Amino acid sequence: MTGWLATLLVPGALWLVGRQLAANAAAVPSLPLHCLLGFLGPAGLVCWCRRPFTEQLLAWVVGVIAWAGIFVIRDPQLFVAFGLVGATWGGILGLKTLKPMVPTVTPAAQGLPPEAAARGRDAGSCESPGFALEMRCPTCGAAAAVPVYHRMARCEFCSSDLVVIGKTDPLTVVIPDAVTTEAALAESVVRYFRDRHYLELYDRRVRPLMEESAFADNNGEADLQHLVAPRPSPAVEAVEAEVSRAADEWAAQIAPRVRVRAWHRFLSPYWHRLGTLYQAAFGRDRAGTKRMEFAVTTVEGAVSATAFPVPEMGKLSYLKALRPLLGAPEAAFPALATEVRPDEIDRTFQQFSHRSTELTITPIAMHSTLVPEVVALVYRPWHVAVVELDGDELAMLVDGGSARVEGQAPAQEPPTSTAETPRGQTPTLAPSRCPDCGADLPFTPEAVAFLCRSCFRLLELRGTRWTNVPYLREEPMKGHRQVPFWRLPLRLRTAAGALITDFPHLTDGIDGTFDQIGDRPQLSQNFFVPAFRTRVSKAGVQLYRRLWPAVQGRAHEPRPERFSPANPPERTVEVTLNAAEARVFARVYLALAFTQRDLARAEVKGVRERFLSAELEGNAELVFLNLPDELLGSLDGLFGRARVRALASLEGQTT
């Protein structure tokens, strides 16, 4: 009886330990430890790795059989055999520890000491699409960092294609805390002292050598690249290495003397916003010629949501892999009250909508619309630590996201409460299957509508439910791809109340006269707006400009039925721009309708009234049009989301 009790209790206890480790978000072990834990307690390991309950139960059965070989049957061979089954299982789960889940983009640091440059690389780059949400794969339980504007994800561990369901507005998320123990806190403080000591030594011993080297090399024959980024001499590099070693030795000496006397942590809220800025402008190019231009730019930024003096979000480099607050271990931290409403980030965005950094002309008059897409309440963990070193006490503020000291702690005690409870459903991942035919949907992470390649239904995920999206299409042609466009009626209501319904009355009348069309009555015309985004604004504008004459004015009516499996399209471009945002894009895309002849005599007042201040009326229809591969083949890399830009970069600041 005692043997059976031990056989059941040992795997059960290990299962509970794994459950506790998973609940505390403990880091997963290395591959060898995976194998060892799988041998001794597979249920605990599987639970720690957040695998499904059925898999945990099966692992517990394997563990029971293995331990029965010790306590009941007294057969070590049985214990070893089933232990090896668990070890193999653990090894398979541990393979994912050998490859990074999320690649990072590292910026080049300029004008900084080597170690300061390394810190810049560690911080990440605001140019990368970094605002990602950490979610669990429903198939294997592995973690995946999914950019918030993606509607689809691919699990790097089991290669499952998944769709994102249940997004809420706003998202309530938390930056994972990297400082979980007092030892980790002390390590951050020691690293801070070490970096300060390194910079002192660098200024005394290395920088004078670099200045002397620059004077020695700065002759009239030096090329521009050498003057901009002089290569350190071998002597300078040797001294740099010696300074780094001296700083390491000094840090090792003070580490045992650093004492954490007091420590408390809290969360600080920040409003974060991501959206797209659409601009159309009338102005002059470098030659002084009047032109109409447009730009499409993705912008991203954050503002503090509390009046307490905490650092700003900075370069947004922390927004790499955020957790939903609900269920995260950081949710137990006290939090600063949210005193600033999301209107503040919207006002900040509107201020930046007047920038013209992406336009290729000097604007005289401009129309800007900023379409907000994602808003999030981001909680950032902070640590206030009172540390002692050789009798001196210092109060330090440590960033929990990067485990770095940010300076002295604020003098006043932070007022804290419970973090805001998330509203609505927490985003999750689900298998990507067509609800009508059951076929797997193609992997299109940025799509707003998914074209099933089996039944050719176009599907849109609204909340947690799939809906069919009607579309028109041309008959597929060999050597062509089907490109999605939104077809809108040209119904432009001017500021004076007049309605423009065809291109001649829009373009010829922009200068206040109708010298080309005379008194010809207006017709009803449609125009096509690309239903996809581009990765780079200026190159994307060139692509859109190339598409304008290729699709406008197509006379034949597209078919209203779905693509036929008997004649499927060879290639398609994904729908990544929804109808509501396409209407905003259409307002600026019409800038391509004007020629130099149209604008030569145009005045600012007339351009504002008849175009920049006009409103577009009418409903949009989705249409797939044939475009030859040679028109798009060299531009495949442009399809997708534009690079994320921090708001600071729109001000011309260094980010």
| Residues 530-579 pLDDT 10s | 999 887 667 788 889 889 999 998 878 899 999 999 999 988 999 999 99
Residue 273 β-bridge partners: 301, 375
For residue 561, which of 435, 439, 458 has the smallest C-alpha distance? 458
Mean pLDDT of 301-317: 81
Token pair for 112: 């900084």
Q: Are 474 and 559 in contact (CB under 8 A)?
A: yes
Strand-pair partners of 374: 274
pLDDT category of residue 92 using cuts at 50, 70 and 90: confident
pLDDT in tens, 585-602: 999 999 999 998 999 989
What CA–CA distance (Å, rounded) separates 236 from 244? 12
Beta strands at 161-165 and 428-431: parallel, antiparallel or unpaired: antiparallel
Task: Report residue 438 as tokens.
Answer: 């059951």
Average pLDDT over residues 299-312: 86
Gap between the Cα atoms of 620 and 378, Å rounded: 35
Q: Hunting for tokens 């790795």 — which residue is that? A: 49
Token pair belonging to 565: 């499996």
Residue 266 CA to residue 414 CA, distance in Å, equals 8
Q: Is 80's pLDDT higher than 80? A: yes
**Structure pTM?**
0.71
CA distances from 399 to 324, 414, 471 (A): 19, 15, 50
- The answer to which of 99-108, 249-258, 345-354 has the lowest mean pLDDT is 99-108
Mean predicted lDDT score pLDDT of the chain: 82
Q: Which residue has the higher pLDDT, 200 or 644?
A: 200
In three-state secondary structure terms, 262 is: strand
Reported residue count of the chain is: 655
